[in-house]
Structure 1
Amino acid sequence: MDLVDLIEEKHFLGQEFLLWLWYKSEERGGAVMVPELGREILVVFEKHMLLEYGEGEAHEKLVCRGLMTELKEARAGLALGKKPEQARIRFEIDNHEWSLTLKARLFEFQNVRLPKTETGSGESDDPMEVEGRLLDQIGLYETAQRTIDQLFRAFLELRCGEQWPEELERVQAWVRKG
């Protein structure tokens, strides 16, 4: 099996992860436990989501966005069998806030917005300040990557464990309640 076929066969995991993370973020007002951190972080799904349904010529996409939608259309789409393919997610750790669009198929990050930092105003051309800002931004991007990885690892452990049937029932009830 080549890489493209493998990605196509397993991309449902990314969709299930986005659905589970969305459910977890709404379950307790945004507080989502990250076992590797040993604490909760704030996770919020913002007003932009792409849902997909079907395959081949019967493939459909539904884009839900806007300030007033509150993702109600996306929740209704879930009830009709559509699956999340990408979502705009904001998360907060220690008063630092990241925002990014996560694509389920390849776990791509897009439109990453990093937290503001204290490493200068960005106006100086001093090489040491420029290097400091760059290293700070790299570290913040790595934190975003690591956080999504830790959330996905928590999902996979649950998904492959004995507790998955009960969690799946809760997620399905949340979708129906939508």
Structure 2
Amino acid sequence: MGILSTTTAICQFRVAGDLPAGDLYPWIAEHLARQAFQSIDQGVAEQSVGWVHLDDHRQMSFDIPAAFWRDHYVAFTLRRDQRKLPAALVKAYLQVAEHEYLSAHPGLNRVPKQKREELKEAVRLNLLAKTLPVPSTWDAVWDTRTGIVTFTSLSAPIIELFETQFKKTFEGTRLVAIHPYARAEAVGGEGLKPALEQANLATSDAAIDLIRSNQWLGWDFLLWLLHRTMTDSSEYCVGQPGPALAGEPFVAYLNDRLVLVSAGEAGTQKITVAGPQDHFREARTALAHGKRITESTLYLEKEEHVWKLTLKGELFHFASLKSPKVAIEKGEHVDEGSEREAAFYERMYVLEQGLQLFDSLYGEFLTVRLGAGWGEELARIEGWLAGE
């Protein structure tokens, strides 16, 4: 599901490294063009990876601004075409080729090893020539004001492919994942920085260390929010920059689905609590016995607008993110290009507003979690879990 879809999945990165001073347009255009997608329809290549247009995945030229430039956004799509041959198919055709070879060489009881490899490669190339590549695409939007890149896949191999292709394309840069600790640094600001650094359990600045050593951020955030969902009004105020005005009210709560995990000698145990919840009794029992919430469905509501998403607590990936619908006008007298561009801006507006609400919610949690009153808050949560 692409960035323009009402429901999508996203993860975010910051662009690190050296960027040219001044206007980025010519530099980005040149580098996207160098790594543009190349079709393999007429060959036998097994894979091709490159950039295409966000609006039309068949277009791969970046010589005009309309191809990728949207005000302060750079919008492009990663396309990968693959030819895949089922192992059973290759085996069947190889058996036919071996039979024909032995028929032509009656003095042999079996095909020599080297010849068998040659036959296998010939069979594979012949089948590849008859197989159309299957395309897959994932959208990316780079906000050049903030340096944040939003990418529409949560698959680890695809994220790695995107990071590699981005680094290869924009030499001298790299993508740094916005994981819970990195997001806490951005949201907490200078005011919470000393407390956050003191609470940091990582022994290095490596992203994998910051993620694994600070899983408590995701665990405690979801636990705190579950408690607030059941015992408070679930009302918050906008406290982070974005489209919504500071101080505007919104509602945030967990519902529908929780995933709880515990690790012990018997291995990892996972419990999924699904369906609308009144009291979260099953989840509270699991939490009281030491399990942690690692994933949950989160609702964010502001006026008549609703954002629904599945929050992955370990990495702060946003799965099944459903935002307010953006309508694309169609008709005989509608300029499709202008309408698509307008829809893109509106889509980014509602997406960024949803992320602004999430960051505001996370910021309120961090104020509590890193403050002097966390011990009392935790005692209240534990009392609630115990049914007091």
Give the SS at the match of 2:381. Answer: helix
- Helix, strand or coil for the counterpart of 1:132? helix
Once residues 122 and 66 of structure 1 are traced to their aligned partners in structure 2, the CA distance between those partners, rounded to angstroms, is 37
How much identity, in percent, do the aligned residues show?
28
Correspondence for 2:219: 15
The equivalent residue for 1:6 is 210
Quote the offset at 1:68 in angstroms. Answer: 7.0
Q: Is the 8 A contact 1:47 1:69 kept in 2?
A: no
Question: Quick one: distance in 1 between partners of 2:276 and 2:306?
Answer: 19
The one-letter code sitting in structure 1 at the alignment partner of 2:237 is V
Deviation at 1:11, TM superposition (A): 1.1
Distance 2:329 2:378 in 1: 47
Distance 1:73 1:134, change over 3 A: same
Normalised to the residue count of structure 2, the TM-score between the two structures is 0.42
**Structure 2 partner of 1:84:** 293
Given that residues 49 and 71 in structure 1 are in contact (C-alpha distance below 8 angstroms), is that contact kept between their aligned partners in structure 2?
no
In 2, Cα distance between the equivalents of 1:70 and 1:32?
Answer: 18
What's the C-alpha RMSD, in Å, of the aligned pairs?
Answer: 2.5
**Aligned letter for 1:92?**
E
The alpha-carbon deviation at position 70 of structure 1 amounts to 6.2
State the partner residue of 2:230: 26
* Alpha-carbon distance in 2 for matches of 1:122, 1:147: 31
Change (3 A) 1:104 1:122: farther
* Residue equivalent to 1:155: 365
Q: Choose 1 or 2 for highest CA Rg.
A: 2
Mean Cα displacement is larger for which, 119-128 or 87-96? 119-128
For 1:1-178, list aligned pairs within 5 A: 1=204, 2-29=206-233, 31-34=234-237, 36=239, 37-54=246-263, 58-67=267-276, 71-117=280-326, 119-120=327-328, 126-177=336-387
Shift of 1:110: 0.4
Structure 1 residues without counterparts, runs of 5 or longer: none
Distance 1:78 1:127, change over 3 A: same
Q: Which has the higher contact order (CA 8 A, sep 6+)?
A: 1
Counterpart amino acid of residue 375 in structure 2? P
Q: What is the number of residues matched between the two proteins? A: 176
Distance in 1, Cα, partners of 2:210 & 2:264: 16
Measure the CA separation in 1 of the matches of 2:281 and 2:318. Answer: 24
Residue 137 to residue 24, structure 1, CA distance change in 2 (3 Å) = same
Following superposition, the deviation at residue 69 of structure 1 comes to: 8.0
Determine which structure has the larger helix proportion and give its number: 1
The separation in 2 between residues aligned to 1:173 and 1:121, in whole angstroms, is 53
Tell me by how many angstroms 1:22 deviates: 1.5
